[in-house]
């Protein structure tokens, strides 16, 4: 690890203490402030949740019995909220009660410290958790950069404005209707934003061309899933999204690109994004054609199923959810 990186991960942390016992919290605050950490103290469950939502700390120390006896519940709520779930939580307890530890683990606690404190151990545990948190922050930042890049690509082509947003909404709606789990839904949502990230390597002359692409231009365009996959490959957090990025132009009969996958080889999440991608492209206006009505887009998808390109059950499921709640899928019907 470089010296600069080492100094960043070992830098003082912002720590929130949740404890309504003033003597105990004052002692802990003094201990941590002496180490250079910036420490705040809150005394109620609401104050903990509000502080974490507005100024997320690097770590939260929650007394087991305080504030107001809601230590486990606060821990559970912080871990259930996607905005705060990566904040490390240390439960402070005055007794070595195994049941409490098990309850704390169930509630999502990352670590425990027991009173009276072993100061050296307390500082070491905090350093370790903060280091992990900062690594997670770095990964999140890198993912945010890629998501921003996805939005930049969309901005290059005014005709595709809102495309990523709609794709994410359509794809997660379809995924939900199929009973997919939260991890898959999260991948579908991020896949909506990242599926065309490889178009960063496609020149404007090709990306924005209104007419048919010539063979050389088609080859350049068809590289975008490979480029996108390579861009996402550096982030483990995008492992579930990469199959969408790479395979959203495959067809079940093997005539798609870039790998010519067939049938079950085409990942389900990529098939979903592919269907909603085609639907959104057809129902969005272009300078050289008007937006096509939903029914016509459904006919195109249906005929592509007949040709063996798509799974008919998936297309039917998508048609059903768009017909059932067109507004919830973020866009009005085109005329």
Interface residues with Fe ion (CB under 5 A) are 196
Shortest Å distance, C-beta 222 to Fe ion: 9
Query: Which of 81, 152 has the CB closer to Fe ion?
Result: 152
Shortest Å distance, C-beta 276 to Fe ion: 12
Query: Which of 31, 159 has the CB closer to Fe ion?
Result: 159
Shortest Å distance, C-beta 169 to Fe ion: 17
> Closest CB to Fe ion belongs to which residue?
196
Shortest Å distance, C-beta 19 to Fe ion: 52
Shortest Å distance, C-beta 280 to Fe ion: 11
Query: Which of 58, 154 has the CB closer to Fe ion?
Result: 154
Q: Determine how many CB atoms are found less than 10 A away from the CB of residue 38.
A: 13
- Our measurement of the distance from residue 109's CA atom to the centroid of its chain's CA atoms, rounded to an integer in Å, reads 22
Closest CA to 189 of 143, 137, 234: 143
Shortest Å distance, C-beta 193 to Fe ion: 12
Task: Give the whole-angstrom CA distance, residue 131 versus residue 125.
Answer: 10
Angle value at C-alpha 216, between 212 and 222, nearest 5 degrees: 80
Tokens standing for residue 4: 């600069």
Pairing of strands 89-93, 38-42: unpaired
Could you write out the DSSP letters of every residue in 255-303?
Answer: -SSSS--BGGGS-HHHHHHHHHHHHHHHTS-BTTBPPPPHHHHHHHHHH
Query: Which of 29, 163 has the CB closer to Fe ion?
Result: 163
Shortest Å distance, C-beta 277 to Fe ion: 7
Shortest Å distance, C-beta 221 to Fe ion: 8
Tokens standing for residue 76: 């559970």
- Name 322's Cβ contacts closer than 8 Å, sequence gap at least 6: 170, 279, 294, 298, 329
Structural element, H or E, at residue 68: none
Query: Which of 78, 273 has the CB closer to Fe ion?
Result: 273
Query: Which of 76, 190 has the CB closer to Fe ion?
Result: 190
Three-state SS sequence of 3-51: HHHHHHHCCCCEEEEECCCHHHHHHHHHHHHHCCCEEEEECCHHHHHHH
According to DSSP, residue 253 is labeled B
Query: Which of 100, 196 has the CB closer to Fe ion?
Result: 196
Query: Which of 20, 196 has the CB closer to Fe ion?
Result: 196
CB 283 within 8 A of CB 163: no
């Amino acid at each position: 690890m470089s010296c600069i990186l080492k100094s960043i991960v070992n830098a003082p942390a912002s720590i929130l203490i949740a404890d309504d016992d003033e003597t105990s919290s004052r002692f802990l605050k003094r201990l941590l402030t002496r180490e250079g950490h910036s420490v705040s103290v809150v005394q109620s469950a609401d104050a903990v949740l509000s502080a974490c939502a507005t100024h997320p700390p690097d770590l939260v120390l929650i007394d087991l019995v305080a504030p107001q006896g809601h230590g486990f519940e606060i821990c559970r709520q912080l871990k259930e909220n996607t905005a705060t779930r990566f904040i490390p939580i240390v439960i402070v307890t005055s007794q070595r009660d195994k049941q409490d530890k098990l309850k704390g683990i169930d509630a999502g606690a990352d670590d425990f410290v027991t009173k009276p404190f072993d100061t050296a151990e307390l500082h070491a545990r905090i350093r370790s958790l903060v280091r992990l948190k900062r690594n997670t922050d770095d990964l999140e930042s890198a993912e945010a950069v890629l998501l921003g890049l996805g939005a930049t690509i969309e901005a290059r082509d005014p005709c595709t404005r809102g495309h990523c947003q709609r794709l994410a909404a359509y794809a997660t709606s379809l995924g939900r209707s199929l009973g997919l789990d939260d991890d898959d839904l999260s991948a579908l949502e991020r896949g909506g934003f990242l599926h065309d990230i490889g178009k960063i390597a496609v020149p404007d002359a090709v990306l924005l061309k209104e007419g048919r692409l010539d063979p050389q231009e088609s080859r350049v365009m068809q590289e975008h899933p490979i480029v996108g996959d390579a861009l996402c490959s550096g982030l483990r957090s995008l492992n579930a999204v990469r199959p969408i990025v790479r395979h959203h132009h495959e067809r079940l009969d093997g005539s798609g690109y870039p790998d010519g996958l067939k049938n079950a080889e085409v990942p389900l999440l990529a098939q979903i994004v592919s269907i909603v991608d085609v639907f959104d492209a057809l129902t969005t206006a272009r300078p050289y054609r008007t937006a096509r009505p939903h029914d016509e887009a459904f006919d195109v998808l249906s005929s592509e199923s007949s040709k063996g390109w798509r799974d008919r059950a998936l297309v039917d499921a998508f048609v059903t959810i768009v017909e059932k709640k067109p507004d919830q899928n973020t866009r009005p019907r085109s005329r």
